[in-house]
Structure 1
Amino acid sequence: MADIKVKLYDFQGKETGEEILDPKLFGVEADPELVHEMVTAQQKNSRDVIAHTKGRSEVRGGGKKPWRQKGTGRARHGSIRSPLWIGGGITFGPTSSRNFGVKVNKKVKQKALAMVLSDKVANDKLVLVESYNMPEAKTKVLQTAFSKLPNKNRPTLVVTKNAEENIVRASKNLPRVETINFGSLNLVDLMKKEYLVINKELLKKVSEHYL
């Protein structure tokens, strides 16, 4: 199998060489069904359960029997919070105790991630830079750099680490740019953005973390 190579740039957009990538992470053949399955699982696991209705035992009031059982000519009732009454509890309504999460095999999840990263490389959507030369959190500096790099201010996901606050802060004013910690790479964020920008140091960390 031929080496998987990607061009290397400085932060001014000048090509400075090539870097060989690990085929286990950047040379995996795509399986659309598997990727779709893992994306769906991620979305389910991140779903917030908001809708919640109260049953008759949760609705306030209704402890007293509204009228006596016999002799009134009216239908018998035990509580004004019965689901039959306006303002009563809801029968079989949605509750916040529902769990939409699904179990995901770790190896399968990592394989799907490798497929998406491999697709970025195959389509020249991975931009590798020597380093993020950002001594200050200046949006203009970051915008200028991206205008000279292959992503050309297209929708971009920038891989960072905790210590790189300048690039994180500078990117907040760029509507098509998002940052993500190298340890939090995931299918949904990768697929939402057209380009992935990463530096040499973090490329090594990503390979160590996900293999």
Structure 2
Amino acid sequence: MLDCVVQNWQGEEVGKATLDLRVAKEENAAHIVHRALVRQLTNARQGTASSKTRSEVRGGGRKPWRQKGTGRARAGSIRSPLWRGGGVIFGPKPREFNLKMNRKERRLALRTALASRAEDLIVVEDFVEQLPRPKTKDLLQAISRWGIESDSKILLILPQKEEMVYLSARNLSTLKLIVATNLNVCDLLWAKKIVTTSSALAKIQEVYSD
């Protein structure tokens, strides 16, 4: 169980929040999180790299010169892999990189990764009404009041997509905004600080508690 201090928009402590998630055993935690991370990064690969073999390169149907008598090495096509402009030997072809992992294992890895970041988790009150219009400066000042350095990599978790928060945050290269139902291991491990709202924390408890 994680006990968190809840701060308001001004950075003042206004309450407590808890998050109770079932995590992997200590001896298996690093292994299962690593597997989930490798799976996510591997499955993100497009696998569209492709090169042409000598049979796919245009041209080369005529023998460049006769077989004997020229003093040169024998050659049958200008599209040989040994020639400039020729085919590629053992080059990449489109392929699938997908790795499989059971759903229960994936969710266990996600809960374990989130629990491992307990010291870097900051819970704040819902602040949508504090941004009636897009204002990156106001959001940066609030982040500073919450005790986070402005150049830190920050993961901001909201219960649902809020237009004004999104427009205020999209210009910050070190801040990534996601919805509570879209948590993933890569983002949880990437961020130096994780900021979530009280309602987003309740949503995480509801969605990932099984």
Q: TM-score normalised to the size of structure 1?
A: 0.83
Q: Secondary structure at the match of 1:151?
A: coil
Instruction: Spell out, residue by residue over 1:22-78, the C-alpha distance to the aligned partner (whole angstroms, 9 max, x if none).
Output: 233xx6555112212221221111124364321012211123344566787866654
In structure 1, the partner of 2:7 is 9
Partners of 2:173 and 2:102 lie apart in 1 by: 34
Q: Aligned-pair distance for 1:143? A: 1.0
In structure 2, the partner of 1:126 is 121
Go from structure 1 to structure 2 and tell me whether the alpha carbon gap of 1:174 and 1:76 turns closer, same or farther (over 3 Å shift).
closer
5 Å matches for 1:17-32? 17-24=15-22, 29-30=25-26, 31-32=29-30
Whether contact under 8 Å (2:159, 2:199) holds in the other structure is: no
Q: Does 1:99 align with 2:96?
A: yes
Whether contact under 8 Å (2:157, 2:179) holds in the other structure is: yes
5 Å matches for 1:50-129? 51-67=49-65, 77-95=75-93, 97-121=94-118, 123=119, 125-129=120-124
One-letter amino acid matched to 2:54 = R
One-letter amino acid matched to 2:98 = G
Q: Which runs of 5+ in 1 are unaligned?
A: none
Instruction: Spell out, residue by residue over 1:74-116, the C-alpha distance to the aligned partner (whole angstroms, 9 max, x if none).
Output: 6665432222433211111122x13332112221111111111
Go from structure 1 to structure 2 and tell me whether the alpha carbon gap of 1:163 and 1:112 turns closer, same or farther (over 3 Å shift).
closer
In structure 1, the partner of 2:45 is 47
Q: Secondary structure at the match of 1:23?
A: coil
Partners of 1:140 and 1:22 lie apart in 2 by: 34
One-letter amino acid matched to 1:120 = R
Instruction: Spell out, residue by residue over 1:119-140, the C-alpha distance to the aligned partner (whole angstroms, 9 max, x if none).
Output: 122x2x1111220232221011
One-letter amino acid matched to 1:102 = L
Partners of 1:152 and 1:76 lie apart in 2 by: 68
Identity fraction in percent: 39
Partners of 2:33 and 2:200 lie apart in 1 by: 24
Go from structure 1 to structure 2 and tell me whether the alpha carbon gap of 1:67 and 1:28 turns closer, same or farther (over 3 Å shift).
closer
Partners of 1:192 and 1:150 lie apart in 2 by: 19
Equivalent residue pairs, number: 204
One-letter amino acid matched to 1:105 = N
Go from structure 1 to structure 2 and tell me whether the alpha carbon gap of 1:168 and 1:56 turns closer, same or farther (over 3 Å shift).
same
Q: TM-score normalised to the size of structure 2?
A: 0.83
Whether contact under 8 Å (2:5, 2:13) holds in the other structure is: yes
In structure 2, the partner of 1:135 is 132
